[in-house]
Structure 1
Amino acid sequence: MADTVIEADGLVKNYGETRALAGVSFSVPAGSVLGLLGPNGAGKTTAVRILTTLALPDAGQARVAGLDVLAHPAAVRRQIGVAAQDATLDGLLTGRQNLVLVGELSGMRTGQARTKAAELLELFELTDAADRVVKGYSGGMRRRLDLAASMLTRPPVLFLDEPTTGLDPVSRQRVWEVIRELIGSGVTVLLTTQYLDEADALADRIVVVNHGRVIADGTPLELKERSRSAHVEVMLAEPGPHAAEVIAPLVGGLVSVSSDGLRLGAAVDSAPGLATALVRALDEAGMLVDNIEVRQPSLDDVFFALTGGAGEEEREREGARA
């Protein structure tokens, strides 16, 4: 088993009377991606802030790259790159100057920082805007530059807090490619995102938090298989007045019937052989099936089933402002 690079153990964090984290625990093995998901205010950003030494927990422990975050914050910072939700760029500097400055502050020689900055500007398709001041950048350009800054020193551990928010589809795909390249080189990534397709595409494992607690943990496939949110749709050759009653014992919920009586739909378990069993039951009842389709649950289905689909108030930010 790969060594654990990021570990949260029973993290608790309160903002006044608001509890942002209520004993959150998870770990990330070396060279893998953990997707940390949850509604707004669930505790994701608070957990990231603690792990990146930007906030102190009220209880619990956190370790990054084998280092205790509370005991050795400076050493932890040398091992990580962070792309936070809010860009940390200087709007009065150019894109190139921002990257070179980050490199120099991280201990790189100026020439080395300039070389690496040029590579990242090209990688994130910012070369044409490299010598323009950042305050004139669009939101998407600022986000790409912020991501480039987080990767400048090729840190072994990378925290990406909603990295593609505000990016167009083409830019999102490019960021995904860059993240995959980093993973291939052995970088360990903790990713928070509101885009569930992003977590599905990139994460080796997913932890879902809600109300400051972990409510699910597993690979994307495992979470989907545990879900009862698959859906079956049956198309009959002719209307079957009792078709819903025939298939009801085989499905997991209420059977919907179209106005013409030809189409039946229901939530089902993701069990093998279900389509065959439905066709056989309808055939024995004298009803011919034209088509049957079982749609397996997506990560969106799993997320909505776990969290109810509604975000809480952004408690962390309210607490931070307080």
Structure 2
Amino acid sequence: MTKTYAGGYRALKGIDLEIRRGEIFALLGPNGAGKTTLISIVCGIVNPSEGRVLADGHDIVRDYRAARSAIGLVPQELHTDAFETVHDTVRFSRGLYGKPPNPAYLEKILRELSLWDKRGEKIMALSGGMKRRVLIAKALSHEPSILFLDEPTAGVDVELRREMWAMVSRLRDSGVTIILTTHYIDEAEEMADRVGVINQGEIVLVEDKRVLMRKLGKKQLSLQLQAPLDAVPQALASDALTLSDDGNELVYTFDAQAEDTGIAALLKRLAEHGIEFKDLNTSQSSLEEIFVNLVKSPQAEKKPAPGAAQEVRA
């Protein structure tokens, strides 16, 4: 799928993506990468220039009513009728999709989002975090099978973020497919089953989160030395060792996926040079570090896309 705007700007370039039923898929990318454009096309807000999109098996153009009824969208921007009450705006959203009234279901949503006590208040009287909860309630009002969360926790406090994470996990467990965009990489690391990285309108990588972190992550072994060093001995200079500024710590960086990391051999060589340590610990790259490296060098991990790749499935 591609999207070219007036003036020739290509926001999306040959997107080929399939999102699995019942998974949490995190779509990561810097500002302007094409995340919101992609979501807007799938949700029927923006038309693609080329390609085809299927949502729950329904073509979003030929069978747009069924496709849109399968999708719930929580947009980035906080916009809703300021003079409506919480309950009325959520009930109205359900009615827009032709769903029959279901007071018990709406009550359940509002309670899960801690909005039940606010149901009679007007939107304009709510805090920013509460307004964002209302947007989520509106998106869920018609019981969609696919839920898009476009920066759902932007500008909300840590407690609300945790509540939303718990709710998203419950939705996934109930079979809802969730596509999440976020600038909080720890959010993707906490919740996602798979991660897709988009940069400059192209999909750089799609991978299972745990596989991605094993495949592209680096591990570090940090050794707290008994006595400070002035420099790494010349004989050890090729061992990916770095010395802290104060000379009290040696850090060995190695591939997290490598079966033979050479740690035992390294420790033996350090002992042969009279270098003793009093403590050690290991750490592994976070998803944020992997993401930053991918965006800096998008071609490094990118596989050539087939020329006929023009379909997006959710």
Of 40-49 and 280-289, deviating more is 280-289
Check conservation: 2:28, 2:183, Cα contact below 8 A. yes
Aligned to 2:23: 32
Check conservation: 1:244, 1:257, Cα contact below 8 A. no
The aligned amino acid for 1:257 is: S
Determine if the alignment matches structure 1 residue 280 to structure 2 residue 287. no
Deviation at 1:230, TM superposition (A): 3.3
Determine if the alignment matches structure 1 residue 303 to structure 2 residue 291. yes
Q: Distance in 1 between matches of 2:253 and 2:7?
A: 42
Of 83-92 and 46-55, deviating more is 83-92
Deviation at 1:88, TM superposition (A): 4.1
Q: Distance in 2 between matches of 1:181 and 1:90?
A: 28
Check conservation: 2:218, 2:253, Cα contact below 8 A. yes
Q: Distance in 2 between matches of 1:95 and 1:284?
A: 71
Aligned to 1:248: 237
Corresponding residue to 2:73 among 79, 82, 96: 82
Check conservation: 1:275, 1:292, Cα contact below 8 A. no
Check conservation: 1:79, 1:156, Cα contact below 8 A. yes
Determine if the alignment matches structure 1 residue 163 to structure 2 residue 152. yes
Check conservation: 1:81, 1:158, Cα contact below 8 A. yes
What does the per-residue CA deviation read over 1:187-217, in whole Å, with 9 as the maximum and x for residues that have no partner? 1111111111111121111110101111121
The aligned amino acid for 1:141 is: M
Q: Distance in 1 between matches of 2:107 and 2:188?
A: 29
Q: Distance in 1 between matches of 2:63 and 2:275?
A: 70
Q: Distance in 2 between matches of 1:202 and 1:16?
A: 38
Aligned to 1:314: none
Of 210-219 and 82-91, deviating more is 82-91
Q: How many residues align?
A: 295
Aligned to 2:54: 63
The aligned amino acid for 1:153 is: H
Runs of 4+ aligned residues of structure 1 deviating over 4 Å after TM superposition are none
Aligned to 1:226: 215
Corresponding residue to 2:249 among 263, 280, 288: 263
Structure 2 segments unaligned to the other structure (5+ residues): 298-314
Report the TM-score, using the length of structure 2 for normalisation.
Answer: 0.87
Q: Distance in 2 between matches of 1:162 and 1:293?
A: 35
CA RMSD of aligned residues (A): 2.0
Q: Distance in 2 between matches of 1:299 and 1:247?
A: 30
Structure 1 segments unaligned to the other structure (5+ residues): 1-9, 310-322
Q: Distance in 2 between matches of 1:130 and 1:248?
A: 66
Aligned to 2:308: none
The aligned amino acid for 2:73 is: V
**Cα 1:123–1:33, aligned 2, differ >3 Å: closer, same or farther?**
same
What does the per-residue CA deviation read over 1:104-153, in whole Å, with 9 as the maximum and x for residues that have no partner? 2222334x1x3322222211112222111101111111001101111122
Deviation at 1:99, TM superposition (A): 0.8
Identity %: 31
Deviation at 1:242, TM superposition (A): 4.5
The aligned amino acid for 1:269 is: D
Deviation at 1:166, TM superposition (A): 1.8
Give the structure, 1 or 2, with the largest relative contact order (CA under 8 Å, sep 6 or more). Answer: 2
Q: Distance in 2 between matches of 1:244 and 1:46?
A: 53
Deviation at 1:231, TM superposition (A): 3.2
**Cα 1:247–1:132, aligned 2, differ >3 Å: closer, same or farther?**
farther
Q: Distance in 2 between matches of 1:144 and 1:250?
A: 51
Deviation at 1:218, TM superposition (A): 0.6
SS for the counterpart of 1:34 is: strand
Aligned to 1:190: 179
